[in-house]
Structure 1
């Protein structure tokens, strides 16, 4: 089937009524033969590559490899060395794969929507923006039965504990957007979660308020946080039976497979937006590859 005309000024925009084949060209990047088309109504010429996220790329061959590498604990700089490309190429691929992965996740949520999630667990993962004085929170929700990651949102939070005063002294008062992030997460997952689902989390003070707003009829349970099995690995608990195992193990996998989330690393996030792209890539990899 011929694609529709991409010219928004054409009377037959996105319709293939007057679109005819108009030869082809050999794409050097991946040695594929690409069909060209022409709209007889407006004389616009285009191909099947027009309008896609990959349009204009010169290194399509490495897209799948980068998708796997960035989901396997490898840094962006080391990815460039392994694949023999420039660091800037990896940075651009991160943005592209983030967009592609969000499309994949949206399609997955549409499929899940036909069969509502009955057991939901959620929590926050703490990381940093360049320095521990500028922490970030990653709100994550997971289907406890299938282990599918339903969503993750990044938010700015103020420093806490013994670093709070030093953070205010060096960077000024840092506003918290944690609640807004939680609201976005629940707005996104509400269509795929049963209104009577069993929902579990720890005893964070804002969790109950958010859950009751979106799922007033849900069976909501909160559990006191347990001690870590190993110092520094708060996602893996010392207690033999962890009621929040699904979300804690998922957060542990995020830390193990996203280089910028390692506990001790110099590969820290400089831009929260890039962290969101990296999370989207890993979520797509986790749901489509690790759970397949």
Structure 2
């Protein structure tokens, strides 16, 4: 039976410091989206009414039963338009639900990040937005023993590498219209390392395994000072289980497998970099808290690090509000 843990209204004193009997029951109502009635309550302090729905993440949704299936589709390499066809709803419905899902996933993950000791592993994968003359770098930071995805980001790059004369002319024509594309690899890597800094244990070295890109050492020393220990490895070594960077290589390969926006030679590529970043937030929610590390075990990365008591179902991670920070909701 649900017991309200606090008043859901932030201006009420019972929101942060609720007393034992800060509420009383105050009737029932029948929401259209549920088959059963829902109990109403009234706060004794602010005199405002609320219900169990006030604490749920899907409190304003007309079709909350779509949330868990939609999350599974977003990690099954299905694009938004096809998701709408499968779920039998309009494309605008899944577009709005995707934005909600990304916000909820980011809050859920942020509220549970704490006391990571490392070592850590970092690498960048590349994709593009719109067309191949707008490359995007995606730095991914993990805890390698549990494959826990700590943080990711997306930043623009200028197209580089070998190009034919025709491709160079096309790049010049593109830049004449849109301007020279900035390279923000450093800003994207810094963003994921800043996220790591907020959830580190207070003492001990910060060991970072990566390839030999000098940027990682420079940013690591700038952010972590004398605690930072860089462990560079060759990026050209065979990418098998004996490769010291196998965990991050495997994580990047799985992200390309799970996310339609990261598939190579696909028309599901992101049109906007922000949407790719939001899709990565959704991936972190599912990979860390719902999917086992391997198919043979039921242990998730969050369980292995002690950040979750058990493996969560998709319905559970989408059930309760996360916009109150680390304030728990008893359920």
Inter-CA distance 198–6: structure 2 relative to 1 (3 Å threshold): closer
Ranges in structure 2 where 5+ consecutive residues have no aligned partner: 294-299, 301-331
Separation in structure 1 between the aligned mates of residue 4 and residue 240 of structure 2, nearest angstrom: 59
Q: Distance in 2 between matches of 1:156 and 1:195?
A: 34
Partner of residue 267, structure 1: 268
Alignment of 1:217-232 (within 5 A): 217-226=227-236
* Alignment-derived partner of residue 290 in structure 1: 292
Q: 1:186 aligns with which of 179, 193, 199?
A: 193
Size of the alignment, in residue pairs? 279
Aligned to 2:94: 90
2:4 to 2, 5, 8: 2
CA distance in 2, matches of 1:8, 1:151: 29
Shift of 1:6: 4.0
Q: What TM-score comes out, normalization by structure 1 length?
A: 0.85
Distance 2:239 2:60 in 1: 51
- Give TM-score scaled by structure 2 length: 0.76
Question: Which has the larger share of strand?
Answer: 1
SS in 1 for 2:104: helix
| Conservation of the 8 A alpha-carbon contact between 2:240 and 2:246 | no
Give yes or no for contact 1:128–1:268 (8 Å, CA) kept in 2: yes
Of 70-79 and 166-175, deviating more is: 166-175
Matches within 5 A, 1:175-254: 175-190=182-197, 191-192=199-200, 195-215=204-224, 216-226=226-236, 237=238, 241-254=242-255
Could you tell me how far 1:284 is from its partner in structure 2? 1.3
Rate the CA distance shift 1:40–1:86 in 2: closer, same or farther, 3 A.
same
Cα RMSD between the aligned structures? Answer: 2.5
Q: 1:240 to 1:18 in 2, by over 3 A?
A: closer
Structure 1: gaps of 5 or more residues: 228-236
Question: RCO higher in 1 or 2 (8 Å CA, sep ≥ 6)?
Answer: 2
- Note the C-alpha offset of 1:197: 4.0
1:242 deviation in Å? 1.7
Offset, 1:40: 4.2
- Choose the corresponding residue for 1:72, options 49, 52, 76: 76
In 1, Cα distance between equivalents of 2:12 and 2:200: 38
Does 2:66 align with 1:62?
Answer: yes
Q: Is the 8 A contact 2:210 2:245 kept in 1?
A: yes
